[in-house]
Each structure stands twice: as C-alpha cells, then as structure tokens.
Amino acid sequence: MNADAYVPILILGAIAVAFAVFSVFVASAVGPRRYNRAKLEAYECGVAPTPQRPGGGRFPVKFYLTAMLFIIFDIEIVFLYPWAVHYEALGVFGLLAMGLFIVNVSVAYAYEWRRGGLSWE
C-alpha cells in the first residue's frame, strides 16, 4: 500500500489535535473565573455518603446480571457480524458452527432470564 494514502488521515488527526488544544487554550483564556467554595469541592450527587464496612459493601445481584446481559449480547454481535458477512463462503460448516454458538448463547440468556435479570423491578 502506498504511504500517500495515509496523508489525509494524518492531516485530519492533526486538525483534530489542533482544534482540541486551541479550544482548551481559548476556554481558559477567555472564560470567567468566579470560584467559590462550592465549586472547588469534590462533586457529589447530592446524597450524603453512607459509612461502609472496612471490606466494602456488597453489590446487589442486579449489577452482576446486567453486566452479564451486556457481555452476552456484545459477544453475540461480535461473532455474528463477520459470520453474516462471509455466510456463503463458510457453507454448511459455518452454519453448524453458528448454530452451536447460538445454542451456547441461548443457555446463558435462559440463565439470565431465569435469575430475573430482564425484569426492571
């Protein structure tokens, strides 16, 4: 591949970096500077923090189930997209392999469903 093909990409990257640096400089030079005690404190959501045990608190199972659901669908899409692009070239072997993959993903999905990870109550 010719190195000249990368020149537009490098130019676009340089423009992006220059714009970011220019924006930060202009914002700090022109922006208002009205500091008060509330602005200098660490940001909190408005809820007073509660004391926790030394080892930390336990997370509800919903966090685990939501993360598992994300991983299930994320991995499924990552593997289904290339399979769909080259479906004809893979033939029957690709169809059987993807069928086995869908069965494996369905087992994880059924586990998630049974544990109540899909209900938002």
pLDDT given at position 9: 93
Structure tokens at 26: 């202009």
pLDDT given at position 90: 86
> Rg for the chain (alpha carbons), in Å?
25
pLDDT given at position 23: 96
Render each residue's pLDDT in the chain as its tens digit; 121 residues: 688 889 999 999 999 999 999 999 999 899 888 888 877 777 766 666 667 666 666 777 777 878 888 888 888 888 888 888 888 888 899 889 989 988 988 888 888 888 877 777 6
**H or E element that contains 112:** helix 87-115
Dist. CA 40–CA 5, nearest whole Å: 48
Largest CA distance in the chain: 68
DSSP the chain: --GGGGHHHHHHHHHHHHHHHHHHHHHHHHS-----HHHHSPP--SSPPPP--TT-PPPPHHHHHHHHHHHHHHHHHHHHHHHHHTHHHHHHHHHHHHHHHHHHHHHHHHHHHHHTTT---
Torsion-angle region of 45 (φ positive above 0: left; ψ -120 to 50: alpha; else: beta): alpha
